[in-house]
Amino acid sequence: MQQSTLKIGLFGIGLEAYWEQFNGLKKRLEGYLAVVEEKISRVHPAVINLGLIDTPDKAFAAGRTFKKEDVDIIFLYVTTYALSSTVLPVVQRAKVPVIILNLSPGAAIDYEAFNSMNDRRQMTGEWLAYCSACPVPELANVFKRTGIKFYQVTGMLYEDAECWNEVTEYIEAARVANTMAFNRLGCMGHYYSGMLDIYTDLTQQYAAFGGHIELLEVDELAALRRNISDDAISQRVQVFSDQFEITKGCSREELERAARTSLALDRLVEIHQLGSLAYYYKGTGNTDNEDTISSIILGNSLLTARGIPVAGEYEIKNAQAMKILDSFGAGGSFTEYYAMDFAADVVLMGHDGPGHIAIAEGKTKVRPLAVYHGKVGKGLSVEMSVKNGPVTFLSVVEQAGGKLMLLVAEGESVPGPILEIGNTNSRYKFSIGARKFVNTWNSYGPAHHCAVGVGHISSKLHKLGQLLNIDVMQVC
Span 190-214, average pLDDT:
95
Q: What is the mean pLDDT of residues 411-431?
A: 90
| Model confidence at 377: pLDDT above 70 | no
Rounded to an integer, the average pLDDT of 231-244 is 96
For a pLDDT cut of 70, what percent of the chain falls above it?
97
Average pLDDT of the residues in 82-111: 94
Element (H, E) at 73: strand 73-77
CA angle at residue 102 from 100 to 104, to 5 degrees? Answer: 155
76, 64, 74: which is closest to 9 by C-alpha? 74
Distance, CA of 19 to chain centre: 43
Q: What size, in residues, is the chain? A: 476
pLDDT number for residue 370: 59
**Residue 147 Rama label (left phi>0; alpha psi -120 to 50; beta):** left
Dist CA 220 CA 215 (whole Å): 11
Positive or negative, the CA dihedral 377, 383, 385, 386 is negative
Q: Helices H, strands E: what count in the chain?
A: 17, 19
φ and ψ at residue 182, rounded to 5 degrees: -115, 5
pLDDT at residue 329 tops 80: yes
pLDDT in tens, 23-72: 999 999 999 999 999 999 999 999 999 999 999 999 999 999 999 999 99
Q: How far apart are CA 364 and CA 278, in angstroms?
A: 21
DSSP calls for 166-189:
HHHHHHHHHHHHHHHHH-EEEEEE
Confidence of residue 290 (pLDDT cuts 50, 70, 90): confident
pLDDT at 297 over 60: yes
Give the pLDDT mean for 259-272: 97
pLDDT at 122: 86
* 289 vs 373, residue with greater confidence: 289
The 8-class DSSP code of residue 357 comes to G
End-to-end CA distance of the chain: 31
pLDDT tens profile 435-457: 999 999 999 999 999 999 999 99
* Average confidence (pLDDT) over 384-393: 94
Looking at residues 8-37, what average pLDDT do you find?
95
Quickly state the pLDDT bin for 1 (edges 50, 70, 90): very low
Residue type for 85, please? Answer: S
Mean pLDDT score, 81-91: 96
Model pLDDT, residue 375: 54
Q: Hey, which residues does 322 pair with through a beta bridge?
A: none
How far apart CA 218 and CA 252 sit, in angstroms, is 24
pLDDT of 193 strictly over 80: yes
- Contacts of residue 433, Cβ cutoff 8 Å, sequence gap at least 6: 345
Cβ atoms of 48 and 175 within 8 Å: the answer is: no
Q: Which among 401, 392, 402, 413 is positioned nearest to 459, based on CA atoms?
A: 392
Burial of 451 (0-12, 13-18, 19+ CB in 10 A): buried
- Residues 148/98, Cβ–Cβ less than 8 Å: yes
